[in-house]
Chains A and B, each alone.
Chain A
C-alpha cells in the first residue's frame, strides 16, 4: 500500500527558481528515499536520508527529515528545464525492504 504522500501534486516554476516538495508518512521509518522519474518510465535514485539524520545535501538537492512531524522535504535549488520530472518519496514503513511510494509531485520547469 502507498504510504508516503507528496505535496503538492503538481508544481510549475521558471528556470532559476527553487522547487520545494514535501512528503508525509504515517508510521515509523528507518530510511526515506527520494527518486525522480522521467516520462513515466524508470526511476532514478536521488538521495537517501536515515531516520537519525535531519538534513542531507547532494549537489543542488537538499533533503530534510523531521521524524517528529513524520515529514520530509526535497529542495531543488536553481532549477533547470532538465529537472522537469515526477519526484517520489519512498519509505520503508511496515517493511524492512520493500519501499512504499507516494503518488509523486509532477514538476515542470519552464525556460
Chain B
C-alpha cells in the first residue's frame, strides 16, 4: 500500500512569501504529526492531529505557522511571511492511533529554502 506522501518535495521561496506544504497520510491512520528538521539536527515537533479532536499546536514556533487537517485525512501546513530561519525539512508522519506505543510512518519530507 501507499505510504505517507508529501508535496512538494522541494520548495524555494523568497522571504516574506507564504508557503503551503501538503501531507497525505496512510489511509486509516487517525493520528498525524508535523515535525521540522534543521540541517544536522534532530526532529522538532510542531503539531499533532488526532481524529476530530482539536490539534495540539504546542510545538508551533510562532503564529506565522498554522495547520489544518481536512476530513481527518490530508493535512496542510502553512507558513506565512516566511523567514530565512524557516528553512528546514518539514516531515509529516502518521500512525494508526495516538500514543507513543505506535510506530510513526514518515513521509519523505519537504525541503523548504527561504532566500
Known: A42-B108, A43-B91, A97-B31. A92 touches B100 (CB 8 A): yes
Within 8 A of A (CB), among B56-115: 56, 59, 89, 91, 93, 98-101, 103-109
Residue numbers in A under 8 Å from B91 (CB-CB): 42-43
**Contact count band on A:** 20 to 34
- B42 touching A48, Cβ below 8 Å: no
B45 to chain A, nearest CB (A): 4
- A103–B50 Cα distance when bound, in Å, is 26
B39 to chain A, nearest CB (A): 8
Closest residue to A106 on the B side, CB-wise?
B40
Q: A42-B4, A50-B101, A99-B104 are in contact. List 18 more A-B contacts (CB 8 A).
A: A2-B44, A33-B103, A40-B37, A43-B106, A45-B103, A96-B98, A96-B99, A97-B31, A97-B48, A97-B50, A97-B56, A98-B56, A98-B100, A99-B45, A100-B45, A101-B35, A101-B44, A104-B42
